[in-house]
Amino acid sequence: MPHRGIGLSFLNALIELLYPRLCCVCGTGLTRGENLLCTSCLYDFPFFDAALISGDGLFSSFEEKCRPEGFHSLFYYNKYSKYKNLVHAVKYRSQKELGIFLGKMLGERMRGKIQADAIIPVPLHAAREKKRGFNQSQRIACGISEALGIEVWEDVIVRVKDNISQTGLEPEERRRNVENIFELRNPAKINGKHLLVVDDVITTGATVSSCLKVLADAGNVRYTLACLARPLA
Ligand SMILES: [Zn+2]
């Protein structure tokens, strides 16, 4: 029925007019064929280069038993970079597919470089997850899982304390703020396993190191870390 097709495309055009799809990085209108990021922002994408981090001391604060074997990040940003908008968008915007989209990009870059048994997203406190409607780290983990074919396990660790944001805290305050916020639920499942632990942003690593410390109680656990973004000064 041709008239029906015309009606639908008219409806789509009207929806685009009323709710234009915008680039999550620069905010310009997306054209047909573009999804979430415009072509120009994808072209200039500041992919994280492992050489940038070697020697920057991220793992120095991690205890020996939970020191990661590797670290992967999709991109880096600083306070002047428009790409920091992505970090915000993954957490708060209504574009539900953005975390999965970026997680998939990250997973594709990790292909052939990692041999993990499972992916563990850093959990949010249940109350916060309910308020936000989702856990952004879980979305990223699902994107990585799609790219690498590694399962996401969400039943091994929970966040039992809804700590205040780490933003603006001094290193020692950050460490104390994330003490005892996680609890292990399924130690037998991860004993002897290599885990890919995923967070949205890793700054000083205080939160993720607190998470690894709890996972380490399961015994004989190996780690690799992955995040979407690493802020650089
Ligand atoms: Zn853009």
Q: Residues within 5 Å of ion ligand 1 by Cβ?
A: 23, 25-26, 38, 41
Over the stretch 77-129, which tens digit does the pLDDT of each residue have? Answer: 988 999 999 999 998 766 778 999 999 999 999 999 999 999 999 999 999 89
Higher-confidence residue of 94 and 141: namely 141
Residue 185 CA to residue 9 CA, distance in Å, equals: 50
% of the chain residues with pLDDT over 70? 94
The pLDDT of residue 208: 93
CA of 208 to the centre of ligand 1 (A): 30
CA of 18 to the centre of ligand 1 (A): 20
Lowest mean pLDDT among 49-63, 106-120, 133-147, 214-228: 49-63
CA of 166 to the centre of ligand 1 (A): 29
pLDDT range class, residue 51, cuts 50, 70, 90: low
CA of 28 to the centre of ligand 1 (A): 6
Higher-confidence residue of 165 and 106: namely 106
CA of 83 to the centre of ligand 1 (A): 9
pLDDT range class, residue 15, cuts 50, 70, 90: confident
The pLDDT of residue 183: 96
CA of 184 to the centre of ligand 1 (A): 41
The pLDDT of residue 1: 47
Lowest mean pLDDT among 12-21, 69-78, 154-163: 12-21
CA of 24 to the centre of ligand 1 (A): 7
CA of 200 to the centre of ligand 1 (A): 20
Over the stretch 211-225, which tens digit does the pLDDT of each residue have? Answer: 999 999 999 999 999
Mean pLDDT, the chain, whole residue set: 89
CA of 112 to the centre of ligand 1 (A): 30
